């Protein structure tokens, strides 16, 4: 059996930008995360923030505009190059640093931060449960972890709605790998259990794209984006909608001692 490896997106940076960041699903994700993060008491004043698996740094740019200092890390050099270029173009180069590093390397040598972000990375890792403990080592006592991951329950639900019955019955296993589609979605209850085992306290849970991906007319994602975004922001912290998000955003607090 081939050993699982963490996914590296070197060579796919432009495709990522075009197919993810510049689409309505990327724009909606950005707005939901910003709403959640900027409401935190910890971010009402400038903070040092570590963004693990930062990719092209879209979230970091927005947080830097609010006065925060960010260290962006990723295993992909091409993704970080784009992040650095965008920071420079936005006049934010003094607030954003980039470092090519894996999570394991970070947890072994990096100083701790009051706020750590880890968005859309967990589902690409070979050992996601171990990653929670590694993230814990990067956070100051009482600090905040913002964790967003691909939702297994939503993937199953969506494929049932689309009529992909054989795919669901086969446990969502597919023969051909889709490069930008996470192949290892995670159970929210399982991720919560990992967080609790690491000593984290749950502060909030948000669904990301609770309605967007289920529209019967996908063209409405673009033509009615403003209305869709407003409704997502209104309902995505309420059940059952929160648990239907294609991604789940957890904000958790590390032990204070």
Binding residues for S-adenosyl-L-methionine: 29, 53-54, 74, 119
* Angle at which helices 188-197 and 128-136 cross, to 10°: 40
Alpha-carbon radius of gyration of the chain: 18
Name the token pair of 202. Answer: 């749950």
**Residue 220 CB-density burial (10 A; 0-12 exposed, 13-18 middle, 19+ buried):** middle
Number of Cβ within 10 Å of residue 173's Cβ equals: 7
Quote the CA–CA distance of 112 and 71 in Å, as a whole number: 12
Cβ atoms 236, 208 nearer than 8 A: yes
Do the strands 96-100 and 69-74 form a parallel or antiparallel pair, or are they unpaired?
parallel
Binding site feature residues: 29, 53-54, 74, 119
Element (DSSP H or E) covering residue 178: none
């Amino acid at each position: 059996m081939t050993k699982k490896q963490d996914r590296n997106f070197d060579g796919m940076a432009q495709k990522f930008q075009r197919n993810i960041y510049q689409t309505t699903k990327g724009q909606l994700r950005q707005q939901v995360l910003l709403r959640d993060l900027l409401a935190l008491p910890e971010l009402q004043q400038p903070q040092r923030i570590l963004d693990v698996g930062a990719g092209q740094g879209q979230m970091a740019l927005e947080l830097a505009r609010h006065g925060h200092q960010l260290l962006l890390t990723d295993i992909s050099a091409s993704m970080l190059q784009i992040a650095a270029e965008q920071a420079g173009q936005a006049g934010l180069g003094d607030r954003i640093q980039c470092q090519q590093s894996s999570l394991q390397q970070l947890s072994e040598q990096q100083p701790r931060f009051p706020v750590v972000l880890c968005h859309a990375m967990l589902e690409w890792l070979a050992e996601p449960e171990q990653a929670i403990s590694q993230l814990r080592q990067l956070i100051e006592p009482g600090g905040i972890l913002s964790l967003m991951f691909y939702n297994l329950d939503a993937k199953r639900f969506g494929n049932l709605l689309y009529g992909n019955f054989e795919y669901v019955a086969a446990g969502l296993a597919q023969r051909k790998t889709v490069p930008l589609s996470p192949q290892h979605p995670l159970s929210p209850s399982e991720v919560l259990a990992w967080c609790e085992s690491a000593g984290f306290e749950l502060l909030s849970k948000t669904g990301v794209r609770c309605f967007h991906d289920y529209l019967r007319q996908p063209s409405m994602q673009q033509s009615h984006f403003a209305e869709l975004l407003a409704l997502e922001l209104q309902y995505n912290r309420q059940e059952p909608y929160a648990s239907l998000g294609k991604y789940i955003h957890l904000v958790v607090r590390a032990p204070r001692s």
